[in-house]
Each structure stands twice: as C-alpha cells, then as structure tokens.
Amino acid sequence: MACATEKIVGVTFRAMDRRRFLLTLAAGLVGAAAARGTADLVSTDRPPSRVPGPAATARPPVTGVVPQAPPAGVVSALPGDGTSLALTIDDGTSTEVVGAFAAFAADSGVRLTFFPNGRYRAWTDHAAVLQPLVDSGQVAFGNHTWSHPDLTTLGDDAVAEEIGRNQDFLRTTFGVHDTPFFRPPYGARNERIDRIAAHLGHPTVVMWNGTLGDDRVLAPADVVAAARQWFTSQRIVVGHANHPPVTTVYADLLALIAERSLQTVTLADVWATPTQRLRGTHTSASLAR
C-alpha cells in the first residue's frame, strides 16, 4: 500500500498502515521481561568506543525556538510561551525498548532528549542508529549517572564518580562533550548534588512537570491516558526506555501531538551552550548552500 507523507507540527510522520507500524516497532519485544537481571548490563569497566553510524542528515531548525544559554539551577518547564513539548527519556534497562525508541525517532522525526545510564548495554547496542540522530540535532543527551543510585545517600566522591563515569560514557560512545543537562535518579537531589553536577559541567538540573508514568509496567491505555493529561505546551515530560508497553502506542502519541498542534523539541533546542549554538549556525549555513 502506498504511504502518504503527513506533516505534523514538529514531527514528520509517514502515514503507514497503523497495524504494520506497531508490529514493526514491537518486533522483538514479545516476551521481554520487565526486569532483565544482568543481561543488559555493560560487562566492561570502561565505556566502549564510539560506534560509527551512517552519515547524519541535517534537519531544519525548530520553528520559533531561539536557544537561550543554559540556566544554572533547577528547571522543570520550558521557558516562555509557545507550543513546544520536550519528551525526555530516562534509563534504558531494555535493549529492545531503546531500539524501538531509536526506530521511532528515525521514522517519525520526533525530537527526543535521552538521559541514559551508561551501565546498560542498550545504548551501545543501538549507538550506530542513534549517532546520526545525535549528529543532526534531532536527539540530545543529558547525564543521568552511570548506575542510577539515589545520590543523596552517597558521599561526594561517589557522587562525582557516578556523574563523571557517565560523562565519559557519553563522550566516548556518542561524542557528546558539552551537554549542560543533569537529571538526578529518582529526582533525588539537594544543593550538594547540584553543586557537584555543576562543577563537573552540568549546571542545569532538569526535573519535569509531566510524566508518562512508565517507570513501572502500565497497560498501553494508561500510557496514552498519561500523555493526554500531560502533553501540553511548554512541558518537560519524563518517560522511560525500560518497559515494552510504551513502544505499542507511538502512533497514539504522534496523533495527540498533532491534535494539540504541539512541536517536539530537545532540551538543546531550547538551552544551548555556545559551542552548540555555533554548530547550529554552521548547520543552517550548510543547508542554505
């Protein structure tokens, strides 16, 4: 069946047969366990080398969004007025779910910010697919620590080790050198944690004001109900790359974004370091040629 191309605000979505779309994204997820033990953990002590992927295709800048300097301190919403929605995806305990998110982004054009824990092999398993999305600016990253502990229970050196090791992972695996964003596991933070993160190069502590509720296993209808509650303008919504049900409702999420005339943005679209803004200028110039 021929597929039309439908333009959604902030998303390009090929209007394929819904059943085939969901079956494709769900491939390999049937029977995936909610808790996978050590099978999805990185087995080496050092982050693996960056995996080359296909060349990136530069995407046009987000309409009406002028990046600001990343703020120092805690943020839980996008600044100003507008129609932007920041979808932020944490953890990555399931290699199948991370792969489904990567396919979702590549196929639909939705913009995502990932906060991975580098200890999970899911990220290196799918680095070749994610890399061109990172290079084009469609996908951004923030630091979520190496192994997802409650940082408020750790001493200063252990906190710095968790953040620093994940920082090394992002640099080595995806070439991400200058993300200002840090999200504490479980949202557990205090002034001490914020100070250490800022000292290590992550001054912007990103919380959220909306959630898919999928940190636990939900029915697909419950994930969609959460999206209906929280997909509104200027929100930062948190989701997780851990459990399969979210992978079966991507088409519903896209339809809701279109219905409400929202555009997806990465956190780096909204808050960009000087280096990121310079890269954006060069990308725009190359598109104009």
- In this prediction, residue 61 carries a pLDDT of 61
Q: What is the pLDDT of residues 131-181, one digit of tens each?
A: 999 999 999 999 999 999 999 999 999 999 999 999 999 999 999 999 999
Q: What is the pLDDT of residues 178-232, one digit of tens each?
A: 999 999 999 999 999 999 999 999 999 999 999 999 999 999 999 999 999 999 9
Q: What is the pLDDT of residues 113-128, one digit of tens each?
A: 999 999 999 999 999 9
Contacts 24+ apart (CB under 8 A), 252-259: 252/224, 252/227, 253/224, 253/227, 254/8, 254/11, 254/13, 254/108, 254/110, 256/224, 256/227, 256/228, 256/231, 257/8, 257/9, 257/10, 257/11, 257/85, 257/110, 257/231, 258/8, 258/9, 258/11, 258/13
- Mean pLDDT of all residues in the chain? 83
- In this prediction, residue 273 carries a pLDDT of 83
Closest CA to 215 of 102, 126, 88, 123: 88
Q: What is the pLDDT of residues 48-95, one digit of tens each?
A: 445 444 444 444 568 778 899 999 999 999 999 999 999 999 999 999
Q: Beta strands 73-75 and 181-182: pairing type?
A: unpaired
Look up the pTM and report it. Answer: 0.81
* Cα 122 from Cα 144, distance rounded (Å): 15
More confident call, 31 vs 104? 104
Rounded CA Rg of the chain: 18
Work out the number of other CB atoms within 10 angstroms of the CB of residue 35: 10
User: Would you list the DSSP string of 96-134?
Assistant: HHHHHHHHHHHHH---EEEEE-TTBTHHHHTHHHHHHHH
At the top level of CATH, the class of 73-288 is alpha beta
* Cα 274 from Cα 43, distance rounded (Å): 36
* Cα 53 from Cα 130, distance rounded (Å): 8
Say whether pLDDT at 280 is over 60: no
Hey, where are the domains in the chain?
73-288
- In this prediction, residue 64 carries a pLDDT of 79
More confident call, 262 vs 42? 262
Amino acid, single-letter form, for residue 254: L
- Tell me the pLDDT band of 22, cut-offs 50, 70 and 90: very low
Burial of 225 (0-12, 13-18, 19+ CB in 10 A): middle
